[in-house]
Amino acid sequence: MAETIKTNVLIVGGGPGGYIAAIRAGQLGLDTVLVEADKLGGTCLIRGCIPSKAMIHIAGEFETMRRAAKGAGHGIKLAAPPTLNIAETVAWKETVVAKLNGGVAALLKRAKVKVVNGWAKFSDGKTCSVETATGPVTVHAEHVILATGSVSTELPFLKFGGPVISSTEALALEKLPEKLVVVGAGYIGLELGIAFAKFGSQVTVVEALDRILPLFDRQLSDPVKRWLDKNGVTVHLTAKAKMLEQGRKGTSLIVDTSDGKTIELPADKILVTVGRRPLTEGWGLENMAVDMAGRFVKVDDQCRTSMKNVFAVGDLVGEPMLEHKAATQGEMVAEIIAGHRRRFAPVAIAAVCFTEPEIVSAGLTPDDAAAQGLDVVTAMFPFAANGRALSMAAGDDGGFVRIIARKDDHRVLGIQAVGAHVAELSAEFAVALEMGALLEDIAGTIHVHPTLSEAFHEAALRGLGHAIHI
């Protein structure tokens, strides 16, 4: 017999947008049901951000030991090169994922959220049916939050399967590919490509545009390109993947290059990272009266759709497709349903690229400011002059902190950085922008020594015309 549930709030999708909305709704005393077909945590926790950073961390450790075996370990030497069991690495990564997945489940339980495991399908805007392991469940809700997330984009001639993999399969390989071809030089492709290069794979990157990391300007991406060149990663720019060829000699990717030639790239695995698309199919979106904005669900600054009491958050509603955006929207929507006055209007959403070196960008870039006709001052401070960076042997990778501020009132409009561990500066950058900081505010804040954050302080001083250490 089918089970029927009536609830205040129905949330579809257990990723960061969905589960955080559910926890906050539960905290606010709203009767809440969360439907998730996979593990709780969503793409970021289960097959994206967290597992990839775990693998990137191990790749960095392995590379350090490989250097030490060659006598380049700053006084540390290994008698023999390290060995890698990629299956054991993947197994360790899964323990991290499992711990966080269990934590999400415990938090939902504490918030008294009912979790229904199965695939939801809407028959109308407020009703969905779920096929669970114990039978069908129908859920009727007063309010609905759509948080279905996104999926990797395939290429028509490179369908996922066999040697062609997405980032999900790349993070679950039990054998290290000797030759890995990465299609797409965006942040996902380069994060994973660099990790596999550190593990010892021969990595080749194919990018249709004329530079890597097109979401970041060349000043930020150039240090990453130098690392790729220095470490033997071949990059084909303005090159288009054409077709997959499989035969007795193995698998190859056929590529058209910018000079009109066609080359063949042998590969054990071909990692396709050409972007992600919102998951809009298979759960009954066509049965809901919501407007679309291209491929995304259209929402206002409260994440309301065109249908009353139906909200949408996260990757489903547009760029940037980032966990912290989805989480913030989910929390906000739960509070709106509970009667709070909220709207989604961040000054900036910081983005981090966990390449080698790392990149952070928040707010306007110099190019953005120029496009808007703004009169700005741009100031940079190199990590080559930062004591903490030098003490970590991270001062010679071309890294820096850059601040863009209005010339008239010194209001900070954008902050970027590239260098080792700069991801940890992203929160300070975001806070400065959100609070409307001036260059004088940053310059007047005492920054701890020795830390990388001193480069932010010095960049502000330089913007004011009196940097100390350069």
pLDDT in tens, 368-420: 999 999 999 999 999 999 999 999 999 889 999 999 999 999 999 999 999 99
Choosing from 449, 457, 466, 469, the catalytic residue is 449
Question: For residue 289, is pLDDT > 90?
Answer: no
pLDDT in tens, 188-209: 999 999 999 999 999 999 999 9
Instruction: Check pLDDT > 90 for residue 365.
Output: yes
Q: Does residue 449 have an active-site annotation?
A: yes
| Structure tokens given for 221 | 């991406």
Residue 72's pLDDT band (cuts 50, 70, 90): confident
pLDDT exceeds 90 at position 108: yes
* Mean of pLDDT values over 437-450: 98
pLDDT band of 1, cuts 50, 70, 90: low
- Rounded to an integer, what distance in angstroms lies between the CA atom of residue 223 and that of residue 384? 13
- Mean pLDDT over all residues of the chain? 95
pLDDT value, residue 401: 98
**Roughly how many angstroms between the first and final C-alpha of the chain, as a whole number?**
75
Give CA–CA dist 105/251, Å, rounded.
Answer: 42
- The ranges of the chain annotated as CATH 3.50.50.60 are 3-55+87-152+277-337, 164-274
Q: What percent of the chain clears pLDDT 90, i.e. is strictly above it?
A: 93
Cα–Cα distance for residue pair 113/131, rounded to 1 Å = 19
- In this structure, which CATH number among 3.30.450.20, 3.40.50.970, 3.40.50.1950, 3.50.50.60 belongs to the domain 3-55+87-152+277-337? 3.50.50.60
Picking from 344, 372, 348, 374, the residue whose alpha carbon sits closest to that of residue 362 is 348
Spatial separation of the C-alpha atoms in residues 132 and 312, rounded to whole Å = 24
Q: What integer pLDDT is reported at residue 380 of this predicted model?
A: 98
Per-residue pLDDT at 47 exceeds 90: no
Distances (CA, A) of 320 to 224, 233, 317, 326: 22, 28, 9, 9
119-153 core/surface letters (b: 16 or more CB in 10 A; e: else): bbbbeebbbbbbeeeeeebebebebbbbbbbbbbe
CA atoms within 13 A on the CB side of 69: 11
Cite the beta strand spans of 24-134 per DSSP E.
32-36, 114-117, 119-124, 127-132
Please tell me the least confidently modeled range out of 36-50, 156-170, 410-424.
36-50
Pairing, β 296-297 against β 292-293: antiparallel
pLDDT at 411: 98
Angle at 353 between CA 175 and CA 415, to 5 degrees: 170
What sign does the dihedral 420-423-427-430 (CA atoms) show?
Answer: positive
Give the span between the Cα atoms of 124 and 69, in whole angstroms: 63
pLDDT (mean) for 173-180: 96
CATH class of 164-274: alpha beta
- Of 271, 387, 55, nearest to 63 (Cα)? 55
CATH fourth-level superfamily of 351-463 = FAD/NAD-linked reductase, C-terminal dimerisation domain (3.30.390.30)
Q: For 212-240, what is each residue's pLDDT tens digit?
A: 999 999 999 999 999 999 999 999 999 99
What is residue 259's predicted lDDT score, i.e. its pLDDT?
Answer: 87
**Residue 445: pLDDT above 70?**
yes
pLDDT at 233: 98
In terms of phi and psi (left: phi > 0; alpha: psi -120 to 50; beta: otherwise), the region of 393 is left
Average pLDDT over residues 124-142: 94
What is the distance between the alpha carbons of residues 207 and 199, in angstroms, rounded to a whole number?
A: 22
